[in-house]
A and B are shown apart, each in its own frame.
Chain A
Amino acid sequence: MFKQIYRKIHGRAPSFVTEKRGVSLRNPYLCHMLRWKAVRHLLYWEYEMEYRRSNGWFLPVLFTAIVGFLCSLVVRDPSPTTWLALLWITIVFSALQSAARAFAATDAEWLYMNQLVRPGELLLGKALTNTMNTLVVTWTGLLLFHLWLGWPAQGPAEGSTIALNTGFIISISLGAVAIASTLSFTAALASKIQRGTSLMAILSLPLLLPTLLVAMRASKLALLGEPWILLYPNWIGEIVLCALPISLGALLFPYLWRA
Chain B
Amino acid sequence: MKNLWKILGAALVGYTLIAGLLFDVPRLVILNETIRNLYFHVPMWFTMIALLAGSLVYSFRLLRSGDQGRLLDLNRDRQAKAFAEVAMIFSLLGLFTGMIWAKATWGAYWTADPKLNGTAVTLLIYAAYFILRGSIDDAEKRARLAAVYNVFAFVLMIVFIGILPRMTDSLHPGNGGNPAFGNYDLDNRMRMVFYPAALGWILIGWWIAQLRVRLENLSAQ
Contact = CB atoms under 8 A, between A and B. Distances in A.
Interface in A198-214: 199, 202-203, 205-207, 209-210, 213-214
A10 interface: no
A87 interface: no
Contact of A252 (B66, B152, B167): B152
A86 interface: no
Contact of B144 (A214, A241, A258): A258
Contact of B131 (A182, A185, A199): A199
B124 to A, nearest CB: 4
Contacts of A241: 159
Contact of B124 (A192, A206, A237): A206
Interface stretch (A88-96, A148-156, A242-250): A242-250
A235 to B, nearest CB: 13
B152 A207 contact: yes
A209 B121 contact: yes
Q: Which of A199, A209, A248, A249 lies at the interface centre, i.e. has the most chain B CB atoms within 10 A of its CB? A: A209
A192 B145 contact: yes
A241 B167 CA distance: 15
A189 B156 contact: no
B149 A203 contact: yes
- Interface size on A, as a range, is 20 to 34
A112 interface: no
Interface residues of B, number: 27
A189 B164 contact: no
A203 B128 CA distance: 5
B155 A248 contact: yes
B153 interface: yes
A195 B164 CA distance: 33
A182 B156 CA distance: 10
Interface of A: prevailing SS = helix
A193 interface: yes
A193 B164 contact: no
A226 B12 CA distance: 52
Contacts of B156: 182, 207, 210, 244-245
Contacts of B35: none
Contacts of B153: 206-207
B72 to A, nearest CB: 10
B126 to A, nearest CB: 9
Contact of B152 (A199, A209, A213, A249): A249
B160 A192 contact: no
B208 interface: no
B219 interface: no
A248 B132 contact: no
Contacts of B151: 248, 252
Contacts of A203: 128, 132, 149
A216 B124 CA distance: 20
Contacts of A210: 121, 156, 159-160, 164
Contacts of A249: 152
A2 interface: no
A189 B142 CA distance: 11
A152 B159 CA distance: 32
Interface of B: 63, 66, 117, 121, 124-125, 128, 131-132, 135-136, 140-141, 144-145, 147-149, 151-153, 155-156, 159-160, 164, 167
Given A193-B135, A207-B153, A214-B164, 6 more contacts: A182-B156, A192-B145, A206-B121, A210-B160, A252-B152, A255-B66
6 contacts: A193-B136, A210-B156, A244-B159, A248-B152, A252-B152, A258-B66
Those 5 A-B pairs whose CB atoms lie nearest each other, nearest first: A206-B124, A210-B160, A206-B125, A255-B63, A252-B148
